[in-house]
Amino acid sequence: MRVFRPLLRAGARLYRRLFRRRLDARTRDVAARLRRVPALSHLSSGALYAMAEVTHRRTYRRGEALYYEGDPGLGLYIVESGRLRLLTNRDPDCTCELRTLEENEMIGAVSLLGHFRRLETAETMTEAQVLGFFRPDLKNVMRHTPTAGAEILQALARAVAAQYVELVGRHEQQGDAVEALKTYAAAAAAADLSEEEPL
SS3 (DSSP) at 57: strand
Find out whether 117 and 140 touch, Cβ atoms under 8 Å.
no
Average the pLDDT over 40-46 and give the result: 94
Q: Which CATH architecture has domain 20-190?
A: Sandwich (2.60)
| Angstrom distance (rounded) from CA 171 to CA 12 | 55
SS3 (DSSP) at 194: coil
pLDDT per residue over 8-31, tens digit each?
A: 777 667 656 655 556 688 999 999
Q: Domain coordinates of the chain in residue numbers?
A: 20-190
Please state which of the ranges 23-32, 75-84, 141-150, 169-178 shows the lowest mean pLDDT. Answer: 169-178
198 — pLDDT class (breaks 50, 70, 90):
low
**Residue 125 scores a pLDDT above 80:** yes
